Structure 1
Amino acid sequence: MDDLNDWPGRELDDEALDVAYNVRRKAGPELFERHMARYLAMSDDAVAGLPGHPGIVYDEASGERLDVWGVRDGEPRPAFVFVHGGYWMALSRRVSSFMARMLDAHGVATVVPDYTLAPEATLEEIVRQVRASVAWVHRHGREHGLDPDRIVVGGSSAGGHLTGMTMVGGWQEPLGLPDDVVKAAMPFSGLFDLRPITRVYVNEYVKLDVPKAAALSPELLPAGRRCPAVVAVAEHDGGGFLEQSRRFARHWGVEPLVVPARDHFDVVLDLADAETAASRALLGLIESVRT
């Protein structure tokens, strides 16, 4: 882009940007806490008694860990790598495995990595760690019941942004990975152009300027190989997330999946139910990369 400062929404004042991107304020404290309690309860229920390998260190440099759920002896299973949200500064893998039982019933394993939260880690480091988790699945997945040739990445909110950073090109070769290591992707309510974040409250933690934000924006980076993707967003999401998802879907050459009657926080919980539009879309993506 010729002018890094010419970004959609630049003309809005700071209050309007906060309305567009502060989804926690939009939900209100009571609803937000209820959503967070559901994340934990549904994740605990999903993995209770499920075969897996929790707590594996995937990145020696940071010591960060991931959980593998829903693996069986015999044929390695496709791996859905789910990257949690929390504006890069909250949540964890503990509350992010709510889809594991649904996927297990359909022959798919779930991989949920942690990453070091901001401000302890820079956003560049968080991106590196998430890419390292994908590299771990490719290199070591088979010994843990995962098929390294069927990796699908997804994530919600900040995790949607981090999903986007695994979809773009240029990072795979330095890690010794094939260009198509990520066979398909499903970001939910993601951020794909981070320049607006330089003017909202979360920048107190991630400390981006406009050039750094642009360098970490999937919409502005070379796509490389365009993997199949579903770009999902909630009907009642924050305005900034709705617009960014629609724009990134166009950029990627797909139609956005706008999930009715859902908000920023509960849209991804639909992955716990195989009959929802989100789950059908994810299972369809995974089926499309079966070998």
Structure 2
Amino acid sequence: MTRAMTPDEAYANSTYIPDGESYYARWAGQAAAFRATHADAELSVPYGAGARQSYDFFQVSGPAKGTVVFVHGGYWMASSPRDFSHLAAGAVSAGYACAMPSYTLAPDARITDITLEIAAAIGSIARRTTGPIYLTGHSAGGHLVARMACVDMAADWSRRVARIMAISPISDLAPLMETSMNEVLGIDPAEALAQSPVHLARQNMAVTAWVGGAERPAFLDQAQWLGAAWDCDVTIEAQMHHFDVIEGLQTPHSAMMRALLR
């Protein structure tokens, strides 16, 4: 008899990716190398008073066509924009500025609070830019950008959002209540309902869910739940897993970037 998968196993990633633990150092190295070649980058621009309430901003030479905002993952508990600077390469090469906000990590903030921080960050970014805004985020960041599409998050900048791409998103928080992560996240049924995009109405915004075909089944489910709830595009990129699925953001003409900026 096949043993049932535990909730922790369902949402584990690096354990099920060959040499998965090596990605963190690899990303940090690629990010540092990208920043070294972009001396005009503005790092840690504040959008609030909190220690992690800032964003990194990568300029383009000449007028920008718009701005891509990338929100990092890490289950709301780990990582920072500085680990993913290299993912700005596709946007900048295509003529778009790229902003990468940071946010207070759990347990110092609940997911509800983090959601409001990302909204504040986008508001700050919108005030310094012109043209369309494209929001994308990975994993927990996918959840956060999807939340920006919800009716309760409507803001002055919402009308400028041309597309939201939620990459490997968590669209329903309820399953995470059964994982050991919830000892840190502290999600309760009320927050799961109030902060899960699948239970919320969407603004009139174009949304794409993007997920790797080789991801954990739970992440394929989460992306498809969002597609079903919002009747939005769902792209399953064959053979890509939870860590390499974001690599399309590095190349201006990748399928991912074409879908984001179309």
Match of 1:180 in 2: 159
Task: Find 1:169's aligned residue among 151, 156, 160.
Answer: 151
Match of 1:159 in 2: 141
Match of 1:55 in 2: 44
Task: Find 1:193's aligned residue among 167, 172, 176.
Answer: 172
1:160-216 Cα offsets, whole Å, 9 max, x none, are 00111111112234xxx2542433111100001101111012111110111211111
Q: Are the aligned partners of 1:71 and 1:77 in contact in 2 as well (CA < 8 Å)?
A: no
1:124-143 Cα offsets, whole Å, 9 max, x none, are 1111111111111122x2xx
Task: Find 2:214's aligned residue among 236, 240, 243.
Answer: 236
- 1:65 matched to 2:35? The reply is no
User: What CA distance in whole angstroms lies between the structure 2 residues aligned with 1:67 and 1:179?
Assistant: 21
Q: Are the aligned partners of 1:259 and 1:277 in contact in 2 as well (CA < 8 Å)?
A: no
Task: Classify 1:106/1:245 alpha carbon distance in 2 versus 1 (closer, same or farther; 3 Å).
Answer: same
Q: Are the aligned partners of 1:19 and 1:238 in contact in 2 as well (CA < 8 Å)?
A: no
User: What CA distance in whole angstroms lies between the structure 1 residues aligned with 2:143 and 2:52?
Assistant: 22
Match of 1:289 in 2: none
Q: Are the aligned partners of 1:70 and 1:101 in contact in 2 as well (CA < 8 Å)?
A: no
Match of 1:91 in 2: 79
CA RMSD, 1 decimal = 2.0
Deviation at 1:249, TM superposition (A): 1.6
1:245-277 Cα offsets, whole Å, 9 max, x none, are 012123222331111121111100221123432
Partner of 1:159, secondary structure, is helix
- 1:250 matched to 2:239? The reply is no
Partner of 1:45, secondary structure, is helix
Match of 1:120 in 2: 108
Q: TM-score, normalised by structure 2?
A: 0.91
Q: Are the aligned partners of 2:14 and 2:21 in contact in 1 as well (CA < 8 Å)?
A: no
User: What CA distance in whole angstroms lies between the structure 1 residues aligned with 2:25 and 2:217?
Assistant: 24
Q: Show the 5 A alignment for 1:200-215.
A: 200-215=179-194
Task: Find 2:201's aligned residue among 222, 230, 233.
Answer: 222
Match of 1:78 in 2: 66
Structure 1 segments unaligned to the other structure (5+ residues): 1-12, 285-291
User: What CA distance in whole angstroms lies between the structure 1 residues aligned with 2:134 and 2:247?
Assistant: 18
One-letter amino acid of the structure 2 residue matched with residue 270 of structure 1: G
- Over the matched positions of the two proteins, sequence identity in percent amounts to 28
User: What CA distance in whole angstroms lies between the structure 2 residues aligned with 1:14 and 1:67?
Assistant: 42
Match of 1:24 in 2: 14
Deviation at 1:237, TM superposition (A): 0.9
Deviation at 1:231, TM superposition (A): 0.9
One-letter amino acid of the structure 2 residue matched with residue 192 of structure 1: S
Match of 2:94 in 1: 106
User: What CA distance in whole angstroms lies between the structure 2 residues aligned with 1:77 and 1:133?
Assistant: 20
User: What CA distance in whole angstroms lies between the structure 1 residues aligned with 2:24 and 2:11?
Assistant: 18
1:219-238 Cα offsets, whole Å, 9 max, x none, are 1112122x112210011111
Greater alpha carbon shift after TM alignment, 99-108 vs 212-221: 99-108
One-letter amino acid of the structure 2 residue matched with residue 120 of structure 1: D
One-letter amino acid of the structure 2 residue matched with residue 276 of structure 1: S
Task: Classify 1:61/1:14 alpha carbon distance in 2 versus 1 (closer, same or farther; 3 Å).
Answer: farther
Match of 2:29 in 1: 41
Task: Classify 1:66/1:136 alpha carbon distance in 2 versus 1 (closer, same or farther; 3 Å).
Answer: same
Task: Classify 1:192/1:120 alpha carbon distance in 2 versus 1 (closer, same or farther; 3 Å).
Answer: same
User: What CA distance in whole angstroms lies between the structure 1 residues aligned with 2:110 and 2:4?
Assistant: 23
1:56-95 Cα offsets, whole Å, 9 max, x none, are 001235661101003334x344111100000000110111
Q: What stretches of structure 1 move > 4 A for 4+ residues in a row?
A: none
User: What CA distance in whole angstroms lies between the structure 2 residues aligned with 1:154 and 1:21?
Assistant: 21
Structure 2 segments unaligned to the other structure (5+ residues): none
Task: Classify 1:94/1:62 alpha carbon distance in 2 versus 1 (closer, same or farther; 3 Å).
Answer: closer
Partner of 2:152, secondary structure, is coil
